[in-house]
């Protein structure tokens, strides 16, 4: 098994890549965030705050620093783009009780990140109702022109859908070596973002869960490298 390398690279060294969708132009950031320059909006999916403590509830004592690291990464990418709007595409909290477990210092950091900008929580299946006291507004989905933000990709969605939920990851094979990375995945009309949370795993884009969303023959995956994203065609991707 090959997994993502240490994720917190030097933000100064990172460069983003272009993507167009329904006539809108976006930037794909190697952290896994999406930026929409026209609207000054930053989009992140599947933050899964407090996943570590969720495991601890079941006796698996993962290091309790995942929320801190995820917030660090989020702060880096917010500093990079200075967006006016942040959209969290659902599953921002790992489970319904996660907001209660969120330690006070992290609450404050989150509030600091929200200060001076609009913050939109899209409801996810892990967090169908983001509780009061976390700032921002909660929506089931948000549309902006032809672009629609929702948590779970919808069946038969129109072009312009931007979603999360699936945690896409892709495997490439070069010179006898195999490498698996989180990725953005698109068919040119809709886009699925990689999970942003530090403890989140990835589902291979060759899995049949992706079939109705992004057909393989039209698929392009943008793999997250250390400081840039790498675009790879669907036909060059391998199942696990």
3-state secondary structure 24-44: EEEEECCCCCEEEHHHCEEEE
Taking the complex as a whole, the smallest distance from the CB of residue 222 to other proteins amounts, in Å, to: 9
Q: Which of 13, 23, 37, 62 binds other proteins (CB under 8 A)?
A: 62
> Does 6 sit near other proteins (CB under 8 A)?
yes
What does the alpha-carbon distance between residue 84 and residue 107 come to, in Å, rounded to a whole number?
Answer: 20
> Does 194 sit near other proteins (CB under 8 A)?
no
For other proteins, give the closer residue by CB, 7 or 117.
7
The residue count for binding other proteins (CB under 8 A) is 64
Q: Which of the 8 DSSP states describes residue 157?
A: P
Window contacting other proteins (CB under 8 A); options: 109-117, 128-136, 149-157, 193-201: 193-201
What does the alpha-carbon distance between residue 218 and residue 31 come to, in Å, rounded to a whole number?
Answer: 24
What does the alpha-carbon distance between residue 159 and residue 148 come to, in Å, rounded to a whole number?
Answer: 9
Q: Which of 131, 178, 212, 215 binds other proteins (CB under 8 A)?
A: 178
What does the alpha-carbon distance between residue 123 and residue 198 come to, in Å, rounded to a whole number?
Answer: 20
CB-based contacts of 95, cutoff 8 Å, min separation 6: 50, 54, 126, 127
> Does 217 sit near other proteins (CB under 8 A)?
no
For other proteins, give the closer residue by CB, 137 or 233.
233
Contact code string over 17-46 relative to other proteins, x by CB under 8 A: xxxx--------------------------
E-assigned strands of the chain? 17-21, 24-28, 34-36, 41-44, 85-88, 118-122, 137-139, 141-144, 147-150, 161-163, 168-174, 177-186, 191-192, 203-204, 220-224, 229-233
Window contacting other proteins (CB under 8 A); options: 16-24, 77-85, 115-123, 146-154: 16-24
For residue 45, how many other CB atoms are within 10 A of its CB? 33
What does the alpha-carbon distance between residue 32 and residue 68 come to, in Å, rounded to a whole number?
Answer: 17
Quote the longest CA-to-CA distance of the chain.
52
> Does 126 sit near other proteins (CB under 8 A)?
no
Q: Which of 116, 133, 156, 176 binds other proteins (CB under 8 A)?
A: 176
For other proteins, give the closer residue by CB, 86 or 153.
153
What does the alpha-carbon distance between residue 140 and residue 193 come to, in Å, rounded to a whole number?
Answer: 17
Q: Which of 11, 24, 40, 68 binds other proteins (CB under 8 A)?
A: 68
> Does 140 sit near other proteins (CB under 8 A)?
no
- Binding footprint of other proteins on the chain (CB under 8 A): 1, 3-8, 15, 17-20, 51, 53, 55-66, 68-69, 101, 103, 167, 169, 171-179, 181, 188, 195, 198-204, 220, 223, 225-226, 228, 230-233, 236, 238-240
């Amino acid at each position: 098994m090959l997994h993502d390398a240490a994720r917190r690279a030097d933000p100064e060294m990172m460069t983003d890549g272009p993507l167009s969708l329904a006539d809108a132009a976006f930037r794909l950031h190697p952290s896994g965030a999406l930026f929409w320059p026209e609207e000054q909006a930053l989009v992140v999916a599947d933050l899964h705050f407090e996943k570590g403590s969720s495991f601890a509830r079941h006796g698996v004592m993962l290091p309790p620093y995942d929320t801190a690291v995820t917030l660090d990464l989020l702060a880096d990418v917010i500093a990079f783009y200075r967006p006016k709007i942040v959209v969290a595409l659902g599953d921002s909290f790992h489970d319904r009780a996660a907001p209660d477990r969120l330690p006070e210092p992290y609450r404050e950091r989150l509030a600091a990140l929200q200060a001076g900008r609009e913050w939109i929580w899209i409801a996810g299946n892990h967090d169908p109702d983001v509780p009061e006291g976390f700032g921002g507004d909660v929506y089931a989905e948000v549309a902006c022109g032809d672009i629609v933000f929702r948590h779970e990709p919808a069946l038969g969605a129109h072009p312009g859908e931007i979603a999360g939920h699936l945690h896409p990851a892709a495997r490439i094979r070069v010179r006898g070596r195999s490498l698996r990375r989180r990725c953005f995945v698109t068919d040119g009309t809709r886009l699925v973002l990689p999970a942003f949370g530090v403890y989140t795993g990835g589902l291979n884009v060759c899995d049949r869960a992706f079939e109705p969303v992004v057909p393989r023959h039209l698929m392009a995956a943008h793999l997250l490298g250390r400081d840039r994203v790498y675009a790879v065609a669907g036909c060059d991707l391998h199942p696990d």
